[in-house]
Amino acid sequence: MAVPKRKMSRSNTRHRRAQWKATTPQLVPVTVDGSVYRVPQRLARAYERGLLRPQD
């Protein structure tokens, strides 16, 4: 694991943290028991197989 050689200033730490942005998941339509739900693309296959159930 990388270990810093020197202490990073508060200003540099905050500038680095400010660059991180969360993105909303891409939603795709999935039909479960005749109803269409919009679920995250990475979970679509699990919903189709019945491993997950959509929340009403």
Angle at 52 between CA 29 and CA 27, to 5 degrees: 25
Burial (Cβ within 10 Å: 0-12, 13-18, ≥19) of residue 34? exposed
pTM above 0.75, yes or no: no
Per-residue pLDDT of the chain (56 residues; tens, 9 = 90+): 889 999 999 999 999 888 888 889 999 999 888 889 999 999 999 998 989 888 76
Cβ neighbours around 39 below 10 Å, total: 20
Cβ neighbours around 30 below 10 Å, total: 20
Report how far residue 52's alpha carbon sits from residue 42's, in angstroms, rounded to the nearest whole number: 12
Sequence ranges of the domains in the chain: 27-55
